[in-house]
Structure 1
Amino acid sequence: MKKKLWMALLALVVLGGLVLAWMYNTGWVDDFNAEQNRVLQERTEAGLQFGTRANQKQCLDQALADFDGCLGYQCTVASGRFLKACLSKATSSEGFCDGVPEFREKPSEDDKEWAKDYCLDKNIRGDNCRLLMRQQQLFCSP
């Protein structure tokens, strides 16, 4: 019984390796990476353009609206790129940084609660909304 389990695991590892080798050799990984880079560049440019005619709060609101319903890492990163670029060009919003916890590399439980509560209060769906809120923390920290 144990031998069959080990053989099944070995077969699974070998099969996984073959699939990865096939994906790499067919250029699938390169195509995927190129597409992701294109999307990130587009979102950065969109953020820069939006930021030239927006204030900081409008940048955050737009990034969260675009993000709403995001269920993957790629859309989280793309929304973060938009927000960061937008904030770099936006005009100031009074009170934008009021109550925003200072950014820390490792967020505290209070930081996590602040982000979670903000996302829930705004009814933003998406598992990684709190990661987007860390952009505001980073922007507002000295």
Structure 2
Amino acid sequence: MEQESELQRLEQFVESLLLRFTRLREENRKLQGELAERDEEIQNLRSNLSSSDVERNEISLRVNRLVAQIEEWERNLGEEEITGPEMTENDEDSAGEEMAGEGAGVNATETGEFSSVAEENEEERRVQHNLFSMGTSSPEE
């Protein structure tokens, strides 16, 4: 009788071990599945990060080119303002004749030439101002 009770206890112990083993194996499968999903997610995130880095570098290059163009425009605009409108020999001759002759000042054609250059410079200044103000007025930045 004592042996039978020992056998029953042993059977119960083995049953409980098998039950725990089955549960642990199922938990292991579940965790392996989660691990595989996370590994896949990590791979996707690394891929996205890589493509984002490439895109960021391309955008950075484009912005640098735009900044270089703007700086070049500013230098050219600065040179035009410093040197002013260039006078040709004909302009100098006619200006000298008017000053010596009538004493009335600059004639209409010269005024038109200077005003058109001034208008072009003013238009270029407005365009550049608009370019700069567009970058600072964006609410996203």
TM-score w.r.t. the length of structure 2 is 0.29
Q: Which has the higher contact order (CA 8 A, sep 6+)?
A: 1
Larger radius of gyration: 2
